[in-house]
Amino acid sequence: MNLNDAARAHIERFRYANGQKIRARNPLQLERNLNDDYVKFLGFSSALLPPGAGVLGMITNRMFLDSESLVGLREWFMTNFDQIYIVDLWGSSEESRRVARLANDENVFDILQGVAVSLLVRRRSHKAVARLVHAREVIGKREAKYRLLIDDLAVGEAG
């Protein structure tokens, strides 16, 4: 992990939610999750976008979608982007052992962590809540996920 001051600066904004510093039940897990390189890269790349416009697209670990300790990251995205598109490809080998509906789920890569594709769109210079959040969850065999990504990547509005 990159633990230098410059790398830490990219995640500092994700330590806050609802204007308060996050006080996690498990502070060590909070630090582990915030210091994961993909979280730092999300912070780094989003900081490179110009204030009034930009698009950020990434394939990352899916953990930021539901981890309690990454609520600050999700909130920051919601207040700094107008449109958010997420394709949650799941694929976590650990989750597939623990959750019945994921028992036959496969990863699109040869890795253990689940995967998400994120596309974040900024068209404004001021902060406000994202106007559009679209999400799609994809569970199943690897080949079926590949076909979907090639042929039918429609992403519906989250509800």
Q: What is the pLDDT of residues 50-82, one digit of tens each?
A: 888 899 999 999 999 999 999 999 999 999 999
| % of the chain with per-residue pLDDT over 70 | 96
Buried b / exposed e across 87-119, counting CB within 10 Å, b at 16+?
bbbbbbeebbeeeeebeebbbbeeeebbbbbbb
The stretch 136-140 carries a mean pLDDT of 96
Beta-carbon contacts of residue 21 (< 8 Å; ≥ 6 apart): 15
Structure tokens at 115: 């995967």
CB atoms within 10 A of CB 28: 9
Q: Which among 80, 87, 157, 78 is positioned nearest to 118, based on CA atoms?
A: 87
Tens-digit pLDDT profile for residues 8-29 = 999 999 999 999 999 999 999 9
Q: Print the domain residue range for 11.
A: 5-157
Q: If you ran DSSP here, which 8-state letter would residue 58 be given?
A: E
Total structural domains in the chain? 1
Q: Which among 69, 64, 73, 108 is positioned nearest to 90, based on CA atoms?
A: 108
